[in-house]
Amino acid sequence: MSQLKQALLDKISNGTVHVGIVGMGYVGLPLALAFVERAKVKVTGFDIDQTKIDALKVGKTYIMHMGADRVQQANATGLFSATADFNRLGEPDALMIAVPTPLTAQREPDMKYVVSTGEAIAKRLRRGQLVILESTTYPGTTDELLKDILERTGLKSGVDFFLAFSPEREDPGNKQFNTATIPKVVGGVDPDSGDIAAALYQRGLERVVRVRSARVAEATKLTENIFRGVNIALVNELKIVYERMGIDVWDVLDAAATKPFGFMKFTPGPGLGGHCIPLDPFYLTWKAREFGVATRFIELAGEVNVAMPRYVVDKVQEGLNEQRKPLKGSKVLVLGIAYKKDIDDPRESPSFELIHLLLERGAEVIYHDPHIPVAPGMRSWPDLPPLKSEPLTPALLKSTDAVLISTEHTAVDYAMVLKESRLIIDTRGVYREPHAHVVKA
């Protein structure tokens, strides 16, 4: 075994390993805290966003489901610190990269954050360091793109430094699983890198799933998200088919879910949301082109899911029509703008597309979300007017022509909404019993 490998494994096993995490967002921060709390090792969080660093330094959180107490406790251990000083990237023994991997306007992988992080690390890369990419990406990113950037230093991967990929499986708001208890898939660019990365995660997390290569690990993450995207598209399509037949898709799915094998329940909705499912599958589509193969399921699922907001807005229009009202000029309350239940993350939320379409058809749009007091500016919808969450009161509901339930939140009083509203368009199956003024969409 190489001396460098042995030295890192020793540091991992005796707890002196210093971990650096680049990108203190939804993925990086929980990962940093998991390593402090469970592995009890020194962790430095890096971010280009000084406001995040300042918040962490004074024990504040900017992620709803991550209590400030956890940041404070991590600070109090003396093991955790955060910095925007990238000159310090040479200090940690292991660097994990959790920066964004969005799509460009042409729906191609936008690797600029990974590239700039790789270049920042390369400037300070030293012998014996381990670098692990955590950002979701196409197979080959780690052992082509990142390896290339890091090897421009003259240091060689698998010899002078170690390189691996390990995808994140965060499920914000999930009370059953957290960063530490979700099994972690790890694959090295070479066997030594895989061994060291696996040993490191083993120290901080409950279960490590070692795979043969970084590419397998990259493809595993994409496969998981494609599986979700395709199945969500399927139930969205079934929703439309059954609705025409006068069958409630929610009744069907509840019943099908009683099958103890061979069925997994997915639920329909107003479209896809979040940073992962709407974007990640297209990373594979892009890479597949290089090999001359088409990803037809991904494209088809994308088509079905992207059409959902328009379907839902048509339902609002039809519901109002039944009440002899045009959508134009009607006041519509969008209820819930986070991309999913009980979280404060609005990224890629279909609610913004719904708001955009409603405004386009002349509706007056307001929203309520208990977790998002002010709707942030969204890159994909630059023309939306500034909106803030309206207090959800009987008076507000009475003055509203239609309520569009876009995201279900536990904190919302749906019984009150049912009682006080004139028309409800329910995209989340909140109301299972039929009501004359509730349209399922």
Ligand X SMILES: NC(=O)c1ccc[n+]([C@@H]2O[C@H](COP(=O)([O-])OP(=O)(O)OC[C@H]3O[C@@H](n4cnc5c(N)ncnc54)[C@H](O)[C@@H]3O)[C@@H](O)[C@H]2O)c1
Alpha carbons within 13 angstroms on the beta-carbon side of residue 88 total 17
The 116-135 contact track toward ligand X, x by CB under 6 A, reads xx-----------------x
Written as one string, the DSSP assignment of 66-121 is: S-HHHHHHHHHHT-EEEE--GGGGGS-SEEEE-----B-TTS-B--HHHHHHHHHH
Distance of CA 140 to the CA centre of its chain: 21
Judged by CB under 6 A, the residue of 36, 98, 182, 186 near ligand X is: 98
Instruction: Compare residues 141 and 193 and give the one whose CB is closer to ligand X.
Output: 141
Judged by CB under 6 A, the residue of 61, 101, 213, 317 near ligand X is: 101
Does position 179 bind ligand X by CB under 6 A?
no
* Sign, CA torsion 270/429/227/137: positive
Does position 28 bind ligand X by CB under 6 A?
yes
Alpha carbons within 13 angstroms on the beta-carbon side of residue 84 total 10
> By CB under 6 A, what part of segment 324-383 binds ligand X?
none
Q: Which residue is closest to ligand X by CB?
A: 25
Judged by CB under 6 A, the residue of 17, 39, 44, 47 near ligand X is: 47
Is 276 catalytic? The answer is: yes
Residue 390 identity (one-letter amino acid): E
Does position 71 bind ligand X by CB under 6 A?
no
Does position 46 bind ligand X by CB under 6 A?
yes
Q: Choosing from 125, 226, 276, 425, which is the catalytic residue?
A: 276
Residue 40 identity (one-letter amino acid): K
Nearest to 195 by CA among 151, 243, 163: 163
- Strand order from edge to edge, sheet including 364-368: 364-368, 331-335, 402-405, 424-426, 438-440
Does position 23 bind ligand X by CB under 6 A?
yes
The 221-260 contact track toward ligand X, x by CB under 6 A, reads ----------------------------------------
Instruction: Compare residues 23 and 188 and give the one whose CB is closer to ligand X.
Output: 23
Nearest to 284 by CA among 302, 308, 268: 302
Q: Which stretch binds ligand X (CB under 6 A): 40-48, 290-298, 366-374, 404-412?
A: 40-48
Q: Which residues are catalytic?
A: 276
Q: Which residues bind ligand X (CB under 6 A)?
A: 22-28, 46-49, 52, 98-101, 113, 116-117, 135-136, 168, 170, 172, 275-276
